[in-house]
Amino acid sequence: MARRLVGFHVLRGMGVTLKTFCETYPWGRAVLRVLRIPSTNGLVTIEYPEVKQQHSERFRYFPFLVYDGTPDDLRCVACKICEQECPPQCIHIVMEKDAQGRPVKVHGRTLPAQFDIDMSICMSCRICVDVCPFDAIEMDNAYELSASDRFEHMLFDKQRLLKSNEYFQQIKPTEASEVDQRLAAKQKKTAAPAQAQPASAAPSSPPAAPPGAGPAAPPTGRTPGPQPTGPPRAPQSPPPGA
């Protein structure tokens, strides 16, 4: 009995394949209409490259570096966290330094002089995105990157990795909105202590004197003693015979 059921389902699956094959051609669809079998156009694939598939927002392929405004305003500070956490070790970063070996800062941040990713061994695992504390690296959805030479074309340098935040908002609007909100909250939290510090450091001005009052007495450096609170005493007369 079990063998009969297996054979039945095999034939049923082959029937689905035959029906899809017939739906692909005009004569096949005519045969299906004569047999009164519902049919579609039979096209189950996309005619690439004339037609390209619309991927979902969560689709990821290779990483790219995000900058705000101009390409020199990189979010990356060359901290090398992504380089250390990358499983296939395909990321290589060199920090920008001056002649004395000190880090160079642009827009208040350090920046990488060299940022290379070997796309031929990249796993598209997104670990570099998750560990980045500055939201400087994100996953792209561009997949037409095939080449005959893996050592030159598939080695992406910093210039090829740079893409604007507007591009990130275009391909992944939901994730980009969450990142922008997170960065705005961090910036607001950092700016709050900086604004409070000058206000607390400013000297307090003395209270204004009421109208008609004379000039205030200069400070003497002595602490005034307790003042009498009762009515003033009358002067005492000297005793007789004094």
pLDDT of 21-50, one tens digit each?
A: 888 888 888 898 898 888 777 767 788 888
Q: What is the C-alpha separation between 177 and 130, in angstroms, rounded?
A: 16
Tokens of residue 161, six digits? 């990795």
Ranking 49-58, 65-74, 82-91, 187-196 by mean pLDDT, the lowest is 187-196
Return the half-sphere exposure (C-beta side, CA atoms, 13 A cut-off) of residue 166.
3
Which residues have a Cβ under 8 Å from the Cβ of 16 and sit 6 or more positions away?
none
CA end-to-end span of the chain: 145
Q: ∠ CA(51), CA(139), CA(179), 5° rounding?
A: 120
Give residue-wise pLDDT tens across range 92-110.
999 999 999 999 999 989 9
Could you give the percent of the chain with pLDDT greater than 70?
Answer: 76
Average pLDDT, the chain: 83
The reported pLDDT for the residue numbered 150 is 75
Cα distance between residue 39 and residue 31, in whole Å: 10
Q: Is the pLDDT of residue 240 over 60?
A: no
State pLDDT tens for residues 129-180. 999 999 999 999 998 888 888 788 899 999 999 999 999 999 999 999 999 9
Lowest-pLDDT range of 10-14, 126-130, 192-196, 209-213: 209-213
> pLDDT at position 53, please?
83
pLDDT band at 197 (very low <50, low <70, confident <90, very high): low
Judge whether residue 217 has pLDDT over 60. Answer: no
Whether the predicted pLDDT of 91 surpasses 60: yes
